[in-house]
Structure 1
Amino acid sequence: MIARTGPGRAVIVGGGIAGLATAALLGAEGWSVSLFEAQPQVGGRAGLWEHDGFRFDTGPSWYLMPEVFDHFFRLLGTTADRELDLVTLDPAYRVYSDAATGLAPLDIRSGRDAATALFEGVEPGAGERLSAYLDSARDAYELAVGRFLYDSYETTAGLRDPALARRLPQLVPLLTRTLASEIERRFTDPRLRQILGYPAVFLGGSPFQLPSLYRLMSHLDLDDGVRYPRGGFVEIIRAIERLARANGVVIETDASVVGIQTTDDGSTRAPRRGAAGTRRPAVTGIRLSDGRFIPADLVVSTADLHHTETALLPPHLQTYPERWWASRTPSPGALLLMLGVEGPLPQLAHHTLLFAEDWRANFDDIFGRHPRVPQPASLYVCRPSATDPRVAPAGHENLFVLVPVPADPLLGRGGIDGDGSPAIETAADRVIAQLASWCAIPDLSERIVVRRTVAPGDFAADLHAWRGNALGLAHTLGQSAVFRPRNASRKVEGLSYAGASTLPGIGLPMCLISAELVVKRLRGDRSPGPLREAARV
């Protein structure tokens, strides 16, 4: 367990994984913690929707970086194996190309031998080149975990470490070359390029924009393996919620925070004296939509960072004001389809990826000067019922489809049984037809018995997501590591941040680390590595 370092009243804004994790860690530190979530249930993007016997995860569905989960659970006196029922997926995922190409689907199995054999079978010589690429991906991953992800960057000591300086000749190309260029100089077959480049989407960007440091993602799915928690990703949320409550955290849902209160009431630009003799204003608590004031010595907002800064604080107390966001890049938006389907779907693996033939044009549609919903789209399908019969009624399948689209809430909102915005439902119809054609499921649309769509307008309205983005700030070079928003306000004492748009970034493991960074700051721990775990769990 984490050592208790002194009590205080802490308020957490937002009950997604970052909020729950921060609450649990602070509770274990001895803080009196209250968490407020605006939605009827905790989970945030990692939510649950149940309908007619189907259980849909509404967001994350890839269990990667298992050591981050293991470390987090050990900090709280338990283990991932105790809290979750994890199964390794085989195949890790399946890849379909455009039906017009006539190419057969590829099953990608994790493990060096299986992955190199697959690449060699598609492109002679690619197996050996993949092995070298995965060596560099593993090295990049270990560098990121050991030096970058757990660093709060309160100082530059970690960056000035002589051991890191000696690695600069290897590090500079990882930061100055794009992921796509690094892949293209090694591999020719477009499918192999896509297999190595698609993780850029899960980092909120394009392989033509993100630095090649993010080749590290291929170490995770091709070398390390892809897992699934039985019961769905909501089980991760439930496990962390259990640990938070066990550490004394009080959780309140349907409780919308409308303001962060400070010793400066906003009537003047001259700050009053804050905590510990500083000249900065200090937090005093939060204000809820029902008029209640909740006092606090520490406020940690895990809500969307843009919303926190521009809606919950007055302009003169904003570390990241609107003008800062004007030059930033959001992750793509997402069109989500949750489909309950009658009958089996053996054509789909647990994870299935459909890649458009014109890869670059697909990303230009999302991130370019004239954004639009790609047609045809590259898309991702999760079929958890392939692994877990609990997520669908007997004789039915559960499909979660994610289509990256521009981050623009004006694209519309989704709905149930086709009652979303007309443009969104039309786009969803096209996606279903594409899935039916490319994956040889001609009667797919007739077999759908449950249908729900979610669109950028929903992300903006329900999660306050900046520009309706689906994931957070994209991991461009200028928005990664030392350049990413920090976990504490520069203007307000006692105000911290955690979540996907702060350090270290996008994804469930990153959000767990962001919660840990809050604790590291409170402890005065400026080391680049994770917190020390208990000797024995």
Structure 2
Amino acid sequence: MKTSTTTPRSSGTAVVIGAGVAGLATSALLARDGWQVTVLEKNTDVGGRAGSLEISGFPGFRWDTGPSWYLMPEAFDHFFALFGARTSDYLDLVELTPGYRVFSGTHDAVDVPTGREEAIALFESIEPGAGAKLGNYLDSAADAYDIAIDRFLYNNFSTLGPLLHRDVLTRAGRLFSLLTRSLQKYVNSQFSSPVLRQILTYPAVFLSSRPTTTPSMYHLMSHTDLVQGVKYPIGGFTAVVDALHQLALENGVEFQLDSEVISINTASSRGNTSTTGVSFLHNREVQNLDADLVVSAGDLHHTENNLLPRELRTYPERYWSNRNPGIGAVLILLGVKGELPQLDHHNLFFSEDWTDDFAVVFDGPQLTRPHNASNSIYVSKPSTSEDGVAPAGYENLFVLIPTKASSGIGHGDAYIQSASASVETIASHAINQIATQAGIPDLTDRIVVKRTIGPADFEHRYHSWVGSALGPAHTLRQSAFLRGRNSSRKVENLFYAGATTVPGVGIPMCLISAENIIKRLHADTSAGPLPEPLPAKTTSSQKTSYDH
């Protein structure tokens, strides 16, 4: 079979599979670029994993069911600027001070501030000499962050040119060291305090990974939280989803919900195979939608192995047999009576020695542990920052417990009537842990509403590979160009966007993945973000003016 290399046309009809963040962003950019776009979403609402939940009988409570950390603000600013807009036109952001609170073992809670000098002072107060070391660490993190933005993230790796740029070549030795040395070894070589080590290595979890296998290149994440700071969009990430949805609608995108794509259709001519559209299930009837271009913003494993015939798969099952799916998760959505001053907006609960926590997530159940989940967990209390997520006199809590990526752990009860025994056990243990570590002995008695989401829900709702919560882990062999590519090698005009493909997991990465589709469509091999704004096309026949 001939490998697909032909550049797609720059306008026509397009189908985007999935209305998660990547699907919304991709559809909006395609429409602005002159495509006639239809988004097909299997669920009855938009947002995907960045969902929202309200429960009948408990008015005033609303939970985000996915992302909750607003990091890399310039990625959002740039995305909106592509449409000639500002982030403030769509989102009301507040700065969180402190950025987050850390509970480690039985030690007192540590409030982690926003700002370079404030972070240096905190580190120095905990470990003499650590302040100056953190200054150097953050300088390195800022440099790594800048080179990632300029050379790696907005890059389809279609040519070697961007990687041979002087900014990369002059840092070649250091980049090699950062890529081949683990984040844990890099941090541990400079800091001795367990809690400081945890503050600097916990971002590995944001990358669906563990500190021992995450390249130290990702110490750049400390630049985003300690220097750039942590913000919160009023309305939560539901407000972000609403903004992206509005952008798409403003640019003429059509949405069809409750419409699950069941196959990507193709036709072959003269040795080339190209997509011709999709078939989908709506109202229990199979329907077809023709298109010149298909972008799957759904799970890449599902796309390749369930929507394409075996002979047209770029990433067949054998590709996934030795890939790391990242973390699974059990989510707990709680409504609690009374105030919880012991908790801040973002809270990280760590075991003093979290080795076993990562082992249970990535290596499987441990015989000495009564539950199949981590004891290092995340708790968000958005009611700290806005009134609209809980009734007066109540708090809203979102709890994320990392687990092995295994749908066998079961469902929660947020979308079906009852949760699996494993999910219930994990949730109960986590609530007791929060009560103990944060000093809230009556927490369980004050819970007025509780719902859970398990790995099987991720698999069922989003076709998530083995129930993964975030996407494949950012190990060395699953980062940058080693993570894969965002276009099919065997089907022309078939592309991929979202957390399961390049550049990776997280809302900013999903926005970047959408932009990279536009760059690939225009054979744009530059390494950085597109010029702002993206010229708007009013008809599908207009030509773009930014190709370079």
Residue 498 of structure 2: aligned partner: 499
Q: 2:384 aligns with which of 361, 383, 386?
A: 386
Once superposed, what is the RMSD of the aligned Cα atoms?
Answer: 1.6
Partner Cα separation in structure 2 for residue 137 and residue 349 of structure 1: 26
Cα offset, 1:418, TM superposition: 8.5
Residue 421 of structure 2: aligned partner: 422
Whether 1:240 aligns to 2:240 is no
Partner Cα separation in structure 2 for residue 534 and residue 512 of structure 1: 15
Task: Say which SS state the counterpart of residue 263 (structure 1) adopts.
Answer: strand
Residue 177 of structure 1: aligned partner: 181
Q: How does 1:139-154 map to 2 (within 5 A)?
A: 139-154=143-158
Q: How does 1:128-527 map to 2 (within 5 A)?
A: 128-264=132-268, 272-273=269-270, 279-289=271-281, 290-368=285-363, 370=365, 373=371, 377-416=375-414, 419-527=418-526
Percent identity, please.
51
Amino acid at match of 1:295: D
Q: 2:27 aligns with which of 23, 45, 48?
A: 23
C-alpha change, 1:167 and 1:505, in structure 2 (3 Å) is: same
C-alpha change, 1:395 and 1:138, in structure 2 (3 Å) is: same
Residue 61 of structure 1: aligned partner: 68
Cα offset, 1:461, TM superposition: 1.1
Amino acid at match of 1:262: T
Cα offset, 1:162, TM superposition: 3.4
Partner Cα separation in structure 2 for residue 375 and residue 305 of structure 1: 26
Amino acid at match of 1:154: S
Task: Say which SS state the counterpart of residue 410 (structure 1) adopts.
Answer: helix
Amino acid at match of 2:272: R
Partner Cα separation in structure 1 for residue 76 and residue 364 of structure 2: 38
Q: 1:44 aligns with which of 45, 48, 52?
A: 48
Query: Which deviates more, 371-380 or 396-405?
Result: 371-380
Q: 2:122 aligns with which of 118, 127, 142?
A: 118
Q: Deviations over 1:132-169 (max 9, x none)?
A: 10110111100111110000011111112233112112
Residue 33 of structure 1: aligned partner: 37
Cα offset, 1:425, TM superposition: 0.5
Contact 1:111 1:225 in 2 (8 A): yes
Amino acid at match of 2:505: I
Contact 1:485 1:501 in 2 (8 A): no
Contact 1:418 1:425 in 2 (8 A): no
Cα offset, 1:332, TM superposition: 0.5
Number of residue-to-residue matches in the alignment: 518
Task: Say which SS state the counterpart of residue 328 (structure 1) adopts.
Answer: coil
Amino acid at match of 1:258: I
Q: How does 1:2-21 map to 2 (within 5 A)?
A: 6-21=10-25
Cα offset, 1:374, TM superposition: 5.4
C-alpha change, 1:233 and 1:141, in structure 2 (3 Å) is: same
C-alpha change, 1:330 and 1:375, in structure 2 (3 Å) is: closer
Contact 2:373 2:402 in 1 (8 A): no
Partner Cα separation in structure 1 for residue 82 and residue 278 of structure 2: 28
Contact 2:16 2:294 in 1 (8 A): yes
Partner Cα separation in structure 1 for residue 496 and residue 156 of structure 2: 11
Partner Cα separation in structure 1 for residue 535 and residue 301 of structure 2: 40
Cα offset, 1:7, TM superposition: 2.9
Whether 1:77 aligns to 2:84 is yes
Partner Cα separation in structure 2 for residue 347 and residue 398 of structure 1: 14
Partner Cα separation in structure 2 for residue 78 and residue 170 of structure 1: 37
Cα offset, 1:375, TM superposition: 6.2
Q: 2:105 aligns with which of 85, 95, 98?
A: 98
Unaligned stretches of 5+ in structure 1? 265-271, 274-278
C-alpha change, 1:223 and 1:536, in structure 2 (3 Å) is: farther
Task: Say which SS state the counterpart of residue 400 (structure 1) adopts.
Answer: strand
What TM-score, normalized to structure 2?
0.92
Partner Cα separation in structure 1 for residue 25 and residue 225 of structure 2: 25
Amino acid at match of 1:399: L
Task: Say which SS state the counterpart of residue 390 (structure 1) adopts.
Answer: coil
Partner Cα separation in structure 2 for residue 253 and residue 292 of structure 1: 13
Partner Cα separation in structure 2 for residue 291 and residue 431 of structure 1: 43
Task: Say which SS state the counterpart of residue 375 (structure 2) adopts.
Answer: coil
Partner Cα separation in structure 1 for residue 261 and residue 352 of structure 2: 45
Cα offset, 1:369, TM superposition: 5.3
Contact 2:360 2:374 in 1 (8 A): no
Amino acid at match of 2:192: T
Task: Say which SS state the counterpart of residue 292 (structure 1) adopts.
Answer: strand
Partner Cα separation in structure 2 for residue 536 and residue 522 of structure 1: 15
Task: Say which SS state the counterpart of residue 286 (structure 2) adopts.
Answer: coil
Partner Cα separation in structure 1 for residue 121 and residue 233 of structure 2: 28
Task: Say which SS state the counterpart of residue 257 (structure 1) adopts.
Answer: strand
Q: Deviations over 1:223-258 (max 9, x none)?
A: 110000001111111001111011110011111110
Unaligned stretches of 5+ in structure 2? 1-8, 537-548
Runs of 4+ in 1 over 4 A off after TM superposition: 369-376
Task: Say which SS state the counterpart of residue 96 (structure 1) adopts.
Answer: strand
C-alpha change, 1:479 and 1:494, in structure 2 (3 Å) is: same
Task: Say which SS state the counterpart of residue 236 (structure 2) adopts.
Answer: coil
Task: Say which SS state the counterpart of residue 281 (structure 1) adopts.
Answer: strand
Query: Which deviates more, 490-499 or 279-288?
Result: 279-288
Residue 269 of structure 1: aligned partner: none
Q: Deviations over 1:197-220 (max 9, x none)?
A: 100001010001100000000011
C-alpha change, 1:381 and 1:418, in structure 2 (3 Å) is: farther
Amino acid at match of 1:92: G
Contact 1:37 1:252 in 2 (8 A): yes
Amino acid at match of 2:148: A
Contact 1:424 1:455 in 2 (8 A): yes
C-alpha change, 1:536 and 1:79, in structure 2 (3 Å) is: farther
Contact 1:433 1:445 in 2 (8 A): yes
